[in-house]
Structure 1
Amino acid sequence: MSDSWLPTLRTSTPQEGWELAAKMSRVGVKITQPSDEIRSRLRPGYSENADSLIAASHVIAVNFQTVAAANDYWREG
């Protein structure tokens, strides 16, 4: 990826932080498997697999921990 898609981990709200965590997770998949064709071909195999969906949710949760820490858990002062 040549363009900068992640200028900061700072967000205004926890909701924005969760959305950023989800985006980080999607970008991670694209970097790991850059072929749109292959990702599309693989999607049916995991989109209906409970273990795969739980694993994907876990990755988002780990990324959210990173974003939350970077935002000092949205606490002031």
Structure 2
Amino acid sequence: MQTTQTAAQPQPAPASTSSSGLVPGNTLITATPDEGRVLAVRMAQLIIKFTQPDAKVRETIRPGYSTNAADLIAITHTVALEFATIAAANHYWRPLANLPQG
């Protein structure tokens, strides 16, 4: 099924290319897996802020999801997806000599 956006539907703001955008520092490249994991957590936080820009609303709903096991698992899934993307961008932190030739 194909849907079309109408003028009444809100459209997300374009992602910024500055360090305050959805990808801090505008790069997925990190020196270590630990730095990659920290970046993944930060990106997950930013997407929540991007999705719900009203800080008061986020503060209001936080107690509900912070004590719900299913919601917490969903959050960790989001971080895991971000980390998988970062790991792939960093060639899983393998030295270039160990990468397959192709």
- Any runs of at least 4 consecutive aligned residues in structure 1 with deviations exceeding 4 A, and if so which? none
**Within 2, Cα distance between the matches of 1:2 and 1:10?**
17
The aligned counterpart of 2:11 is none
Tell me: higher relative CO, structure 1 or 2? Use CA pairs within 8 A at least 6 residues apart: 1
**Within 1, Cα distance between the matches of 2:72 and 2:16?**
29
Deviates more, 1:3-12 or 1:51-60: 3-12
Residue 44 (1) aligns with residue 58 (2): no
Partner AA of 1:25 in structure 2: A
Pairs within 5 Å for 1:11-30: 11-30=30-49
The structure that has the greater radius of gyration is: 2
- Structure-1-length-normalised TM-score: 0.94
- Structure-2-length-normalised TM-score: 0.72
How many residues align structurally? 77
Which residue among 36, 53, 62 is the counterpart of 2:72? 53
Per-residue deviation at 1:22? 0.4
Percent of residue pairs identical: 49
| DSSP-derived class of the 1:12 partner | coil
Per-residue deviation at 1:4? 1.6
User: Which ranges in structure 2 are unaligned for 5 or more consecutive residues?
Assistant: 1-14, 97-102
User: Which ranges in structure 1 are unaligned for 5 or more consecutive residues?
Assistant: none
